[in-house]
Structure 1
Amino acid sequence: METRRVPARSGTINAPRQAVKGPPLRSDGARLRVGFVLARKFTLCAFANFVDVLRLAADEGDRSRPILCNWSVLSATMDPVTSSCGVPVQPKERLGDPARFDYIVVVGGLMDEMSILGPAYVQFLADADAAGVPLVGVCSGAFLLHQAGFLDGYRCCVSWFHNADFLAQFEGLDPVADQIFVVDRNRLTCSGGASSAHLAAYLVDKHVGRAQASKSLHIMIIDDAHAAEKPQPGVTLDFRTRDPIVLRALLVMQQHLDTPPTVAEIARRAGLSKRRLERHFRAALDLSPQAAFLEIRLSHAHHLVTHSDKSVLQIALDCGFCDSSHLGRAFRRRFALTPLALRKGA
């Protein structure tokens, strides 16, 4: 089905990245109203984290009455939407007028099973955009917004796990895979998981108050709200290639950092011969698969050294090295200092 393309709003991607402020306090007392559009096989964790921050900020304690915040799952058909884990969610309202909300949030799901947004949803999002209602992409919801033409000219956040998928499928965008969320004017996107709670807390802080945002996260046993620039706790690929074979192999590498498979095993998982995989890596990256895998593991080790309290030994094991000495030698060759020296300097 052909999706509607919506022109980007004026301004450059370096414009101040602030969300459009929603309407003032309404007669019903709500300061923040959010409408949710759930994709088929949406990620339940990302949706639940976002909603729970709103729920806990909306009332005293954890009484959960939608007083200061209000939220609703929207649908064109009112049919239940099944999440990626099999739990269905029943929509509460039909799409209707998007102007009754301060934000419209699109929650994505499994890449292989998530269908594109239907015409009714694309029109609803276009009406929201025309009414000045910011659009939010949660988890792979950024893919759906881009497919429908709503991210042209905007920065967007994707999970490090799906960064290769985004690069392979979409042109004209530079996805951000090293932050937990991105606010670029009237587009807000986050990587999913716990970052959904932090993006929701950002909105609660903006429209309801910092105390309510902090309270929500504390009740959910989450650390204080993180800024958008907080790094994602994962591996970001710096390799720039659109070769689908190389991207698929890199994803296999990302998923097996602690127990590195051989190049032959990676090739088998990608459905190729070892020699053909090596040719693709040389052509796309001017690296062997072994060198690329080592770079990924060392980059992740660097991230853990600077952003975690794990011991160097544990980091070594998490990144597929035999011990701390093995990691130390490779780390020094790559970064010109040892993990301990880097941590001490940081």
Structure 2
Amino acid sequence: MALAAQPVFSFASLKLGEPFYETLTLSEHGGPVASTGGPTVMTESFGERIFDTVIFAGGDPNLTHLSSALLAYARRSAATARRIASICTGDFVLAEAGLLDGRRATTHWTYARTLGSRHPGVRVEEDRIYVVDGSVWTSAGMTAGIDLALAMVENDLGPDVARTVAQTLLVYHRRAGGQSQHSALLELDAKSDRIQSALTYARRNLAQPLSVEQLAEVARLSPRQFSRAFRAETGQSPAKAVERLRLEAARLMLERSRHTVEQIAQQTGFSDARRMREAFTRAFGQPPQAIRRNARPVSA
């Protein structure tokens, strides 16, 4: 999955009509390297060549031995490249090499706490899609590497090229770095059609009060039956679930739109900016304004 970031750079060159990027896949010794998914990947050895950008892919940090040559290459890359980056657990390489000490970084949420406990000098932000701290870029796992690559293209060539590449790859335009790795709808995994229909209705009508009675009517259950079934299937109350959906919608609007905080609060059902600010502070540990600042495009 980490290698899925490579086509972003290739398609950016195609859109420009010139070889702006050249991508190589490297390993310590070169030759075929077996991936965790099964396919073998052909690589070139590290060598002495200096690169503009060096990205370290992830592996299982519990199983992978980090060789001294790999760590030395990471340190040399940090000293010679314009930027270095990691995808998923690739940041364990950067951390072991001492390149993340005192820096903000993220990784796949499964390994975020492991990264923090192993390397206490790293300021782990475990619920970010990607983080840029100076010349060091780190991303969450799986498809977040594509968002990281698109952000790099936007940084190098502007938003129009990045948007065109995203469309070519049939993905949404890159998610902002501050966006959460978790989706409320994915986590609210209702088992019955009735509860799922209530969740879908809630997401489409966030500006409404969305009382238990209202949602129960959509599910064709009595309020008492609905509340009991909802908690049994999702593990939380309808009110808590609605707040999470509102938080997710408001966060996306903060990152992607120019609406004011007051407008977003109204459209997502928080009634006013104060209530939304309180909910954000409880859920994310920071107010809406901070979320918006963190989502701004990175600068060179």
Query: 1:40-79 counterparts in 2 under 5 A?
Result: 45-48=1-4, 50-60=5-15, 67-79=19-31
CA–CA distance in structure 2, aligned partners of residues 310 and 84 of structure 1: 42
CA–CA distance in structure 2, aligned partners of residues 113 and 68 of structure 1: 36
1:281 is matched with which residue?
Answer: none
1:321 is matched with which residue?
Answer: 231
Per-residue CA deviations over 1:144-197 (Å, capped at 9, x if unaligned) read 210121111111111222223223332222211121100000110000222111
Bigger RCO of structures 1 and 2 (CA < 8 A, at least 6 apart): 1
SS at match of 2:73: helix
CA–CA distance in structure 1, aligned partners of residues 69 and 236 of structure 2: 56
CA RMSD of aligned residues (A): 4.1
CA–CA distance in structure 1, aligned partners of residues 247 and 142 of structure 2: 32
- Unpaired stretches in structure 1, ≥5 consecutive residues: 1-44, 236-254, 260-303
- Counterpart contact for 1:106–1:141, Cα < 8 Å: yes
Partner amino acid, structure 1, of 2:141: G
Partner amino acid, structure 2, of 1:89: V
Partner amino acid, structure 1, of 2:140: S
1:174 is matched with which residue?
Answer: 123
2:54 is matched with which residue?
Answer: 104
- Counterpart contact for 1:107–1:138, Cα < 8 Å: yes
CA–CA distance in structure 2, aligned partners of residues 209 and 147 of structure 1: 33
Pairing 1:113–2:78 present: no
Say which of 241, 246, 269 aligns to 1:344.
Answer: 269
Query: 1:117-266 counterparts in 2 under 5 A?
Result: 118-233=67-182, 258=189
Identity %: 22
Please identify which structure carries the higher helix content.
2
1:29 is matched with which residue?
Answer: none
CA–CA distance in structure 1, aligned partners of residues 167 and 248 of structure 2: 32
- Counterpart contact for 1:328–1:338, Cα < 8 Å: no
CA–CA distance in structure 2, aligned partners of residues 223 and 133 of structure 1: 27
User: Are residues 55 and 258 of structure 1, via their aligned partners in 2, closer, same or farther at CA, if it must alter by over 3 Å?
Assistant: same
SS at match of 1:229: coil
User: Are residues 329 and 126 of structure 1, via their aligned partners in 2, closer, same or farther at CA, if it must alter by over 3 Å?
Assistant: closer
SS at match of 2:123: coil
User: Are residues 220 and 73 of structure 1, via their aligned partners in 2, closer, same or farther at CA, if it must alter by over 3 Å?
Assistant: same
User: Are residues 326 and 144 of structure 1, via their aligned partners in 2, closer, same or farther at CA, if it must alter by over 3 Å?
Assistant: closer
Displacement of 1:324 in angstroms is: 8.2
Partner amino acid, structure 2, of 1:71: T
- Unpaired stretches in structure 2, ≥5 consecutive residues: 191-198, 216-225, 250-264, 271-275, 277-300
Task: Tell me the TM-score normalized by structure 2.
Answer: 0.63
Per-residue CA deviations over 1:286-318 (Å, capped at 9, x if unaligned) read xxxxxxxxxxxxxxxxxx99xx769998xx99x
User: Are residues 310 and 83 of structure 1, via their aligned partners in 2, closer, same or farther at CA, if it must alter by over 3 Å?
Assistant: farther
